[in-house]
Every structure is written in structure tokens, then in C-alpha cells.
Amino acid sequence: MEKGRFEYRKATKEDIVRIQEIYAFAREQMRKTGNPNQWGDNKPPLETIMSDIKNGNLILICNPDICGVFSFTIGLEKTYSIIENGKWLNDDKYGVIHKVASAGNNCGIMEAVLFYCEKKIGNIRIDTHNDNKIMQHILEKNGYVKCGRIYVEDGSPRIAYQKVN
């Protein structure tokens, strides 16, 4: 499926039921593929989703119905201020991708997320759990470089990636 074939729009409160369904499906897929701990049973929490919607950071991927969701911001990410066992590729302004999930009914959702974000800014950072082998593979296949380890708000480690276009 072509990367540009999807449509994108900002999520609204009216989308919350579908968004929660997609995140529930994604959590189950993560469990089935050997990654039960990254999101556990309740991540991302409803208050985080609502905050992302309010701030205009939660993006929906549609084809034509909602088939994916992710958070995207441009600016500093506090959990990226300290990186261990490596370093970021640069200190330039960057975009941050978080909370990517697919409804499972379209191939290429992660590539569609990267396509969207890379069009917005040519310097992207993203992190993933050590057990999320699928995400690691997709990121590396799309030119993302493993930069080191960061720690998210709950103190758990994540593999940090960056791509500079």
C-alpha cells in the first residue's frame, strides 16, 4: 500500500471510543508478539489520550475509516534529555512520535506514520521497548538509527532512535 494513500486528521473527543478500541487491539497484538510489558493493560491511559486530543497532538490515519492513531509533537521531549550508551545524531529541533497503534485492518500503518511525520520535519526521534522487535525492525528498515537508551516517565528503559533527512 502506498505511504501517501492514507488520509490524516487530528483526533477529536468524538473519536475517543474508536481510539480506545484501536489501543486495546494494539495491546493485545503486543502481547501476542512477545511484548506484553510496553503498554501493559492500560497504556496509554485515557487522561493522556484526552490531553493529546486537547493539545492537537493525536493524529488519526484513515482509509477511509480510522485505522491507526499516533501522537506527534515538534519540540523538546523531557525523557530524551538524558541518553545512555550512545548519543543523539544532533541537537537540532526535532519531532517526536509516540503511542502508535494500528486497528489491524491495513498494512503499512507505521510506514504511514513515518511518512506523515518526516514531511513535517526532517529530524525525528522515537523510542520503543526492547521487546518490541516489530517496531525496531520497521524503524531500522526505514533508516532510523539506534542512538542509545532513554527512560520513560515510569523509569523503564526504551531504545532511542533518530532519523535525520
**Confidence label for 137 from pLDDT (cuts 50, 70 and 90):** very high
* CATH no. of 7-164: 3.40.630.30
Average pLDDT, the chain: 94
Report long-range pairs for 70-77 (Cβ below 8 Å, ≥24 apart): 70/97, 70/98, 70/99, 70/100, 70/101, 70/113, 71/97, 71/98, 71/99, 72/96, 72/97, 72/98, 72/113, 72/116, 72/117, 72/120, 73/98, 74/120, 74/121, 77/125
Cα(33)–Cα(49) distance, integer angstroms: 24
% of the chain with per-residue pLDDT over 90 = 87
pTM value?
Answer: 0.93
pLDDT of residue 3: 52
pLDDT of residue 98: 97
pLDDT reading at 1 higher than 60: no
pLDDT reading at 76 higher than 80: yes
pLDDT reading at 5 higher than 90: no
pLDDT of residue 35: 84
pLDDT reading at 139 higher than 60: yes
What's the mean pLDDT in 32-48? 89
What 8-state DSSP symbol labels residue 142? Answer: T
Helix (H) / strand (E) containing 163: strand 157-164
